[in-house]
Amino acid sequence: MRPIPHPAPWRALILLVVLTATTAGDEPAPSAAGLADVPELLAVLRPAAEESTYLDIPWETDLWRARTRAAAEDKPILLWEMDGHPLGCT
Amino acid sequence: MFADPEIRRLAREAFVPVAGDDWYQRRRRDAEGVFYRGMSDQGPRGGAGGGTRQGIYCFTAGGRLLAYRNHWDPEVMRAEIAGALAKYRAMPERERVPATIEPRGEPDSRFHRAPPEGGAVLGVYTRVLDRGPDGRVRRCAELPSGVRGRSAARDHLWLTRDELAGLVVAPVPAIGARRAVPGPVAERIARFHLVDDTRGEPDHWTREQVRTCELALVTADVSAEQIRLVLDGRVLVATDAPAERAARGYDARLAGTLVYDRAAGRFTAIQIVALGEHWGEGRWSPGARPGRATLGVAIELLARPAPADLVPPQGARDPHDYFGQ
C-alpha cells in the first residue's frame, strides 16, 4: 500500500504567504458606519445636560483667586481636588 | 455627588468653589503648593510618601481646615459640607478672614500649565457606545453589571499657534488635494486623545504603541472668505503587536471638518470624530466592557473657552512629551 504523501512543506509556506498578502490591508473598516454624519455623531458624544449639572457651580480653577474672593466675601472655600482634574478628566 | 441639588446650592451660595488637580498641587514647590499641603496636612489624608490627597476640602481663606471627606454618597457629603459651613459661621471674624492674603510669587513652572499663547483649546469628549436596532451608534442606555463609565469623559486638546498655521498651507492647495496632518498634531491626537478615559485616568499610548496613524486633510472648498478642509483617517493604537493579541487597544476611523476664516486669520470651526472598537482597561480604570466594544471620541474647537475649559490636558503632565518636543 502506497503511503499517503504529505504536502511538501514549501507548498504550505507559499500558501501561507499568498493568504497573508491577500488579506493584509483588506481589513474591514471598523465601525465606519456613523462617520458619514459628523454633526450627528458629535451630538451623541457631547456630554448630556444631566451629565453637566456640576458645571452649574461657578468653579474657580485658581486657588489664590479663590482665597482672595473668600476673604473679600467672608465665605469658606470648597475645594474639589482629584487626581486628574475633576473639570477636565472623567 | 455634585448632581445633588442641595450640594450645588451650598457650593454656589455659601462657599467659594474651586477645583484642582491633586497631581500638580501636591508636587508644586511654590506658595500655592505650600499652602495646599499645609491645609491638607490638617486632614486625615496627609499625603504620606507623596501619595494622593484627593477629596473634598472645606477651609478658610487663611488655610484652616473645616472638613475633609472623599465620599460619593451625596447624603454623607451634604452633612459634611453643611457641618463645615456651620463651623465657619461659628468662628470669630478674625479667624474666618485673614487680614491679608500673602503674595503668591512665581509659580513652580514644572507644575504650572497654561494654554499656548495664540493657540487653540479644543474640547475632547469620549463615550462608550453601542448600536440601536437600526444599526446606528447611540449612547449606552445601561452597562453590564460590574462595568462602569456610561457618562461622557472630558479632556482638552491644546494646539500651538504654529501648529494651527501648519494646518493651512499657503498657497492653498487645489480642491481635492490631500496631505498628511502634521506629525506632532496627529501623534498628539493618537497618543493622548484616542483613549478610553471614561472610568478614570487613562494610560496614554507610547509612541511605540501607535501602530497606525494615517490622518489626512483634503481641501474641500475655497472662497475669498474661507477655506474648508475635510479630515479623514485611521488610527490603531495597541499595547502589543500584533494588535489582535494586544491586552488593550483602539482601532478607529476619523472624520471631520475644519473651517478657516481667511480675513480673521483663524479657524472658526474644528470638528473631528473618531469611531471604532476599543478593548482592555488601564491601571486606574478597571471595569471596562468585556471584549471589543464601540468607543467614540469627539474633538471640537472651543471658540470662547470657559474657565473650566482652561484645565490642562491630562497628557500635559509631561509637556515635552505632549507637545512632541
**CB-based contact (8 Å) between A24 and chain B?**
no
Q: Where are the domains of chain B?
A: 5-111, 120-322
The pLDDT of B199-214, averaged and rounded, is 95
Which residue in chain A is spatially nearest to B148 when comparing CA positions?
A90
- pLDDT exceeds cutoff 70 at A10: no
SS3 A53: helix
Q: Is A65 a domain residue? A: yes
Provide the mean pLDDT of chain B: 93
Q: pLDDT tens across B18-77, in order?
A: 999 999 999 999 999 999 999 999 998 766 667 888 999 999 999 999 999 998 899 999
| Nearest Cβ partner for B61 among A61, A70, A82 | A70
- pLDDT exceeds cutoff 60 at A27: no
Q: Is A77 a domain residue? A: yes
Cell numbers linked to B171 = 498657497
pLDDT at A4: 36
Using a pLDDT cut of 90, give the percent of chain B over it.
Answer: 82
| B172: closest CA of chain A, how far (Å) | 24
**More confidently predicted of A32 and B169:** B169
- pLDDT exceeds cutoff 50 at B155: yes
pLDDT at B257: 96
The residues, ordered by sequence, that sit 6+ positions from A77 with a Cβ below 8 Å of its Cβ are A66, A67, A70, B15, B16, B17, B18, B57, B58, B59, B60, B61
- pLDDT exceeds cutoff 80 at B246: yes
Of A19-28, A58-67, B153-162, give the lowest mean pLDDT range. A19-28
Do residues B61 and A71 lie in contact, with contact meaning Cβ atoms separated by under 8 Å?
yes
Which residue in chain B is spatially nearest to A54 when comparing CA positions?
B2
**More confidently predicted of B303 and B181:** B181
**CB-based contact (8 Å) between A25 and chain B?**
no
The structural domain count of chain A equals: 1
| B128: closest CA of chain A, how far (Å) | 9
pLDDT at B111: 94
Q: What is the DSSP string of B239-250?
A: SSSSGGG-SSEE
**CB-based contact (8 Å) between B125 and chain A?**
yes
- pLDDT exceeds cutoff 60 at B161: yes
| A40: closest CA of chain B, how far (Å) | 10
pLDDT at B284: 87
Q: pLDDT tens across B93-115, in order?
A: 999 999 899 999 999 999 999 99
Q: Is A24 a domain residue? A: no
- pLDDT exceeds cutoff 80 at B194: yes
pLDDT at B48: 65
The pLDDT of B168-187, averaged and rounded, is 93
Sign of CA dihedral B140, B142, B147, B151: positive
Residue A64: its chain B contacts at CB < 8 A? 31-32, 101, 104
Touching A: B residues 165-194, CB under 8 Å: none
**CB-based contact (8 Å) between B36 and chain A?**
yes
- pLDDT exceeds cutoff 70 at A3: no
Cβ-based contacts under 8 A for chains A and B? 249
Q: Is A70 a domain residue? A: yes
Using pLDDT thresholds of 50, 70 and 90, give the confidence band for residue A26.
very low
Do residues B156 and B121 lie in contact, with contact meaning Cβ atoms separated by under 8 Å?
yes
Is B255's CB within 8 Å of A82's CB?
A: no
Is A78's CB within 8 Å of B11's CB?
A: yes
pLDDT at A9: 46
Provide the mean pLDDT of chain A: 72
Q: Is the ipTM of this complex over 0.90?
A: no
Q: pLDDT tens across B42-55, in order?
A: 998 766 667 888 99
Do residues A90 and B154 lie in contact, with contact meaning Cβ atoms separated by under 8 Å?
yes
The residues, ordered by sequence, that sit 6+ positions from A53 with a Cβ below 8 Å of its Cβ are B2, B3, B8
Is B23's CB within 8 Å of A83's CB?
A: yes
Is B314's CB within 8 Å of A88's CB?
A: yes
Touching A: B residues 132-161, CB under 8 Å: 135-139, 149, 151-156
- pLDDT exceeds cutoff 60 at A24: no
pLDDT at B270: 98
pLDDT at A34: 60
Please state whether beta strands B266-279 and B293-301 pair in parallel, antiparallel, or not at all (unpaired): antiparallel
**CB-based contact (8 Å) between B269 and chain A?**
no
Is A85's CB within 8 Å of B312's CB?
A: yes
C-alpha distances in angstroms, B27 versus A85, B107, B109?
14, 12, 11
Using pLDDT thresholds of 50, 70 and 90, give the confidence band for residue A23.
very low
Is A31's CB within 8 Å of B137's CB?
A: yes
The pLDDT of B205-211, averaged and rounded, is 98
Is B275's CB within 8 Å of A64's CB?
A: no
Find the domain containing A76 and state its range: 59-90
